[in-house]
Structure 1
């Protein structure tokens, strides 16, 4: 099996959860609003109005709406980008470390 096929196959092994949650991306000191589309144990798909590149490191913060639940904060790296016609860029991020 080729590496590409194996990588795709392995990605499908992770359960993805639809989230549709507002998030904050921190990149080089700038805070950028975005929307988390889906989330798995190893990564997430986001939509943002600002362009990023493969290899960019982002801190992702998802605030919890419930006081009893802690929000999510993770160091991530952009692994793919896709720019749809509406100007919002979709990003695939791998989670490097949860905080």
Structure 2
């Protein structure tokens, strides 16, 4: 399946939830504060001041606002990178596994 086929398939098969919430990205010893714009069962769109590249593996932590619920922790891979004029990156992250 090509990336274009996958993009089309995701639009049909996976609901994207607009969440716009603060998250933490961790790659090795580097931690970045970021904003998750949307989330689906297979990935997320994130904006952050990072210098990540396609294929980089990144740990994502989305905290819970409810004390009874654990936040989301996931291992992801960068599958799309866009540059903003202010130096931030728009990142497409594919979820590889949940912890």
Structure 2 length normalisation: TM-score?
A: 0.92
* Runs of 4+ with >4 A deviation: none
User: Unaligned 5+ residue runs, structure 1?
Assistant: none
CA deviation after TM superposition for structure 1 residue 4, in Å: 4.4
> Please, what is the CA RMSD of the aligned residues?
1.3
User: Unaligned 5+ residue runs, structure 2?
Assistant: none
Structure 2 residue 37 is matched with structure 1 residue 37: yes
Structure 1 length normalisation: TM-score?
A: 0.92
Structure 2 residue 8 is matched with structure 1 residue 9: yes
Q: Aligned pair count?
A: 98
Q: Does the residue aligned with 2:6 lie in a helix, a strand or coil?
A: helix
Query: 1:8-46: per-residue Cα shift (whole Å, max 9, x none)?
Result: 211202100001110010101211110000000000000
Counterparts of 1:17 and 1:36, CA distance in 2: 10
Structure 2 residue 92 is matched with structure 1 residue 88: no
Counterparts of 1:53 and 1:28, CA distance in 2: 14
